[in-house]
Amino acid sequence: MAGAPRPDEEELVERHGRGLRLGLACCAGFADTFGYIRLHGLLTAHVTGNLAFMAAGIARGNPHILLKFLALPIFILWVGITALVIGRVGRGARGGLLCGLVFEILLLGLVGLATMLLPSQTNPDSLPEIVIGTLLLAAMGAQNAVMRFSLPKLPSTTAMTTNVSEATVRWVSARINPDRRLSAEERTALARGARRIAATVCAFGLGGVTGGLVALHLGGVGLLIPMALLALLILWILAAGRRAKAQGPNLANNRNS
């Protein structure tokens, strides 16, 4: 995954980059807020934030910190599992992306079923809460693996703190360059990158508001919303692939004529 981008990876970013980063950021924001409300403050997308909550719980003498302690190891485990599945099943960046998105949809479906079937508990470390939290962490782990495998050049769709810092640095670099070495084209590119990251953060926020409303008023059935969004992304990518294949012979015929 390191090194120069693969040709199919470049094509993915060029054709679908905007829709993918905004759609996936919406899903991550949804999952983060849904988990925070439904699972007593568990962050399932910005996972490292749970370390601060765990530390605060220890300082206050709160014994219910098990799931927050387990969140990062669970997340890492599912990133690894998804990477293994993508590596075995997915073919190239596009195949890996489609495989990972299907995997994420299945995991979100399990979260929805578990939320509807398992009773809500006041103890955040009860078995039902751990089951739901593990599945939601798994879904976000799958999304992160997809980003690293197929879309590493796009902004993160889960860790918004990193995105905000990067957008700020890009914007300042584009406006105030102390050594005056940047060309006008470079400043324009930096400003464009900052706007893309800002739009990704806004999409995350929109998804977060939706996830919060769903957690409060709909429950597990509301997870059909991010599942439908992911399914639309898959159909969009497949339709674009079919169009590209159909145009291939036409382009070849035009070159030969």
What distance in Å separates the CA atoms of residue 180 and residue 138, rounded to the nearest whole number? 46
The SS3 call for residue 43 is: coil
Percent of the chain clearing pLDDT 90 (strictly above) = 51
Residue whose tokens read 């300082």? 59
Element (H, E) at 60: helix 49-60
Q: Does the domain formed by 17-237 have CATH 1.10.357? A: no
| Model confidence at 105: pLDDT above 60 | yes
pLDDT (tens digit, 9 = 90+) per residue, 172-190?
766 666 555 667 777 777 7
pLDDT band at 248 (very low <50, low <70, confident <90, very high): low
Q: What is the reported pTM? A: 0.86
Q: Is the dihedral of CA 220, 224, 225, 226 positive or negative?
A: positive
Answer for the pair 108, 139: CB distance below 8 angstroms, yes or no.
yes
What distance in Å separates the CA atoms of residue 91 and residue 236, rounded to the nearest whole number? 18
